[in-house]
A and B are shown apart, each in its own frame.
Chain A
Amino acid sequence: MEFEFIVEGGNFIKAGTASSQLKKILKQLNVDPKVVKRVVVALYEAEVNIVAHAYSGVVQITISTESINIRLVDEGPGIPDINLAMQTGYSTASSEVREMGFGAGMGLPNMKNNSDVLNITSEVGKGTIVEMSFFLNQ
């Protein structure tokens, strides 16, 4: 099963659309609620990162009997130092974004903690690709 969602940079009103849609789909498929929670939390953080830090992006979701695989591809400034970005508390969020309560530098750590596999590649000035996998039979 495959699904695709568009994410608009800067649009906080629509942030979270993909994760809330995916939550409905996974519940209908009777996926273990604990897994559903991990998936939607990680996807929400990844979506918000495109909204907060990039210009536009696409979310591709593939669901099989073994796993849920999510790939987020964005056009944006990219991440110069991924290890630094992964550190709790590191954030380049703007003051407007921080005022809303985003920008704690906890999104990437939350993605890491909630996924079984997290892979990030990025090209400065071009964009970022985030891949996450969640295994279903554990």
Chain B
Amino acid sequence: MMTIKELSEKLNLKLSGGAEGLTNEITGGYTSDLLSDVIGHAEQGNVWITLQTHKNVMAIASLKELACVIIVNDLEPSEDMISQSNEENIPVFVTSESTFEITGKIYNLINK
């Protein structure tokens, strides 16, 4: 299994918050911008790839015990999203890549 830290280094992800959670392990991933879809389908330890940048994302990541959140297209997480990620110790990253590209890369890394 891969840790969040290893994944973020391989993909050059920019950390926005939640550094304390970097050593957690990744079980897989889920890509969606619909919050109830993530609630229904993401699994514990998943990487969540999304374009949503508000605080409710962290509430869901915490309830579902997701590994981390990756925001695509260089979008900026809101300040209260970052502070919540620090409180919950769930890392939030930003990537310049699109949802398609980053999801594909993560899929390949995890399934090697």
Q: Which residues of A contact B (CB under 8 A)?
A: 12-13, 15-16, 19-20, 23, 37, 40-41, 44-45, 48, 100-102, 104-107, 109-110, 113
Contact = CB atoms under 8 A, between A and B. Distances in A.
Q: Which 6 A-B residue pairings sit nearest by Cβ, starting from the closest?
A: A106-B36, A16-B59, A104-B34, A101-B35, A101-B52, A104-B36
Interface stretch (B22-30, B60-68, B93-101, B103-111): B60-68
Interface in B54-79: 54-57, 59-60, 62-65
Interface in B8-48: 33-37, 39-40, 44
25 contacts: A12-B56, A13-B80, A16-B59, A16-B63, A19-B63, A20-B59, A20-B62, A20-B63, A41-B39, A45-B36, A48-B56, A100-B35, A101-B35, A101-B52, A101-B56, A101-B57, A102-B56, A104-B34, A105-B36, A106-B34, A106-B39, A107-B36, A107-B39, A110-B40, A113-B40
A101 B63 contact: no
B63 A13 contact: no
Contacts of B62: 20
A105 B54 CA distance: 20
A19 B39 CA distance: 13
Interface residues of B, number: 21
A101 B34 contact: yes
Contacts of B34: 101, 104, 106
Interface string B79-99: 010000000000000000000
A13 B39 contact: no
Contact of A44 (B37, B44, B63): B63
A41 B64 contact: yes
A100 B59 CA distance: 13
Contacts of A106: 34, 36-37, 39-40
Contacts of B64: 37, 41
Contacts of B37: 104, 106
